[in-house]
Amino acid sequence: MRFETSAVEGWIGCTADVYARCVKAYAAFQLGRLGLIQIQAIVRILISMSAMTADDACQLENNHNHITEFLKIIPSGCASRDAVIETLEERTGLKGSKDDAQRILADFRIYLKFDEIISRYWDSAGHEQRLAYFPLYFWWKLTAILPLRPTEFLLTPRDCLHGKVLTVRRTRLKNKGVRVSYSIDGDYELYKYEISEHLATELRAYIAATDDLRQNEIDTLLVPTTNFIDRVSDNASKYYTYGRLRMCLLAFYDEAVIPSGIEIGGIALGDTRHLAMINLIISGGSPSACRELAGHADINISSHYYANISNLVECATLVHLRKSRGGAATLTGEQRYPLARPVTAHRVQGGWCGAVSVENGDVSECLKAISADGFIGECAYCAHFWPDEQGLRLSFYDKELGKQRVEADTEHLLHMVEVVRRGIGHTEDVGSALLRLQRSCAHYHKCILESIEYGKT
Q: pLDDT class for 396, splitting at 50, 70, 90?
A: low
Measured N-to-C along each axis, helices 299-306 and 399-421 cross at an angle, to the nearest 10 degrees, of 160
| CB-based contact 399:448 (threshold 8 Å) | yes
User: Where is average pLDDT lowest: 318-327, 344-353, 427-436?
Assistant: 318-327
Q: How far apart are CA 294 and CA 419, in angstroms?
A: 9
For residue 304, the model assigns a pLDDT of: 56
Mean per-residue pLDDT of the chain: 76
For residue 333, the model assigns a pLDDT of: 40
Q: What is the mean pLDDT of residues 212-237?
A: 68
Q: What is the mean pLDDT of residues 322-328?
A: 54
87-96, 189-198, 431-440: range with highest mean pLDDT: 189-198
Half-sphere exposure of 320 (CA within 13 A, CB side): 11
Say if pTM beats, i.e. exceeds, 0.95.
Answer: no
Q: Please report the beta strands in 223-329, taking only residues with DSSP state E, as ranges in sequence order.
A: none
For residue 217, the model assigns a pLDDT of: 73
Q: Please report the beta strands in 75-177, taking only residues with DSSP state E, as ranges in sequence order.
A: 94-95, 102-103, 161-162, 165-171
For residue 431, the model assigns a pLDDT of: 73
Q: What is the mean pLDDT of residues 337-347?
A: 67
Q: What is the mean pLDDT of residues 56-76?
A: 85
Q: Where are the domains of the chain?
A: 5-103, 110-266, 317-456
Look at residue 376 and tell me whether its pLDDT is greater than 80: no
For residue 201, the model assigns a pLDDT of: 95
Look at residue 409 and tell me whether its pLDDT is greater than 90: no
User: Where is average pLDDT lowest: 41-45, 127-131, 334-338?
Assistant: 334-338
